[in-house]
Amino acid sequence: MIEHITPESKLLDENLKKELSGIFLKLTEEVVLKAVIDMTTEKGVELAGFLTVIESLSPKISLEMYMPDEAEQAVELDTAYLPVTGLYKDGRYAGIAFHGVPGGKEINSFVLAIYNLAGPGQEVSSRAVKMLRKLERKMNIKICVSLACHHCPKVVAACQQIAVLSGQVEAEMIDAALYPKLVEKYKIERVPMIIVNDEEVYIGPKTIEEMTEILVKISKNKL
């Protein structure tokens, strides 16, 4: 396990830390952040510092960080794209993961993921909730983003809130800039790019209702 990391991050100044502490005061349940990190890389070191700061902001948040050869401690996470952080509650993976460092605009989706999983959460329409009950198979969503993109965090938050509401869904944010092979594989030229079950590709902003409709349709068609 990776330990004794100094809680420092250029992504989180004192004002932002104070703001996040206020948000995390609303958490009603405990959440565990599990990360698999290669500490020999710049992004790995950056993520370790970032997560250590986040942990320090609330007693409801705990952190476990592992090197790649310890990945069995977080076996649910896709370690093909490192570094990766997953959210866990009540000893179970919540289906929410971040590949890369959730900085830039994606700090918003990272904070919302914690808030929606372990706090009061954002309101969701009853229609979306009812539709999610119709999902009949496991669904994986990869949201390929740019950290400078204004639309991406909303799509990430929508997909990850779906994961909170449905045990059938896993939603992973991927900082496309870090993984050139993924960019090449899916010919990523615009973001957000949403990849469902490594097959279906959708481009551009999507609301939680729109994503729910897409998932239900795919679920029915693949049965």
How much is the pLDDT for 19?
A: 97
Position 188 pLDDT exceeds 80: yes
In the chain, the percentage of residues whose pLDDT exceeds 90 is: 93
How much is the pLDDT for 219?
A: 87
Position 223 pLDDT exceeds 60: no
Q: What is the mean pLDDT of the chain?
A: 95
Give the sheet arrangement for strand 31-36, strand by strand. Answer: 61-66, 31-36, 84-89, 92-99, 169-175, 139-145, 193-196, 200-203
How much is the pLDDT for 68?
A: 97
At 66-97, the pLDDT tens digits run: 999 999 999 999 999 999 999 999 999 999 99
Q: How many whole angstroms separate alpha carbon 10 and alpha carbon 53? A: 10
At 37-73, the pLDDT tens digits run: 999 999 999 999 999 999 999 999 999 999 999 999 9
At 1-29, the pLDDT tens digits run: 999 999 999 999 999 999 999 999 999 99
Count other C-beta atoms under 10 Å from residue 85's C-beta. Answer: 27
| Overall CATH class of domain 14-222 | alpha beta
Structure tokens, 91: 């000893």
β-strands 139-145, 193-196: how paired? antiparallel
In the chain, the percentage of residues whose pLDDT exceeds 70 is: 99
Structure tokens, 52: 């250590």
How much is the pLDDT for 49?
A: 98
How much is the pLDDT for 222?
A: 65
How much is the pLDDT for 164?
A: 95
Q: How many whole angstroms separate alpha carbon 25 and alpha carbon 65? A: 23
At 130-185, the pLDDT tens digits run: 989 888 889 999 999 999 999 999 999 999 999 999 999 999 999 999 999 999 99
> What three-state secondary structure class fits 43?
helix
Domain boundaries, the chain: 14-222
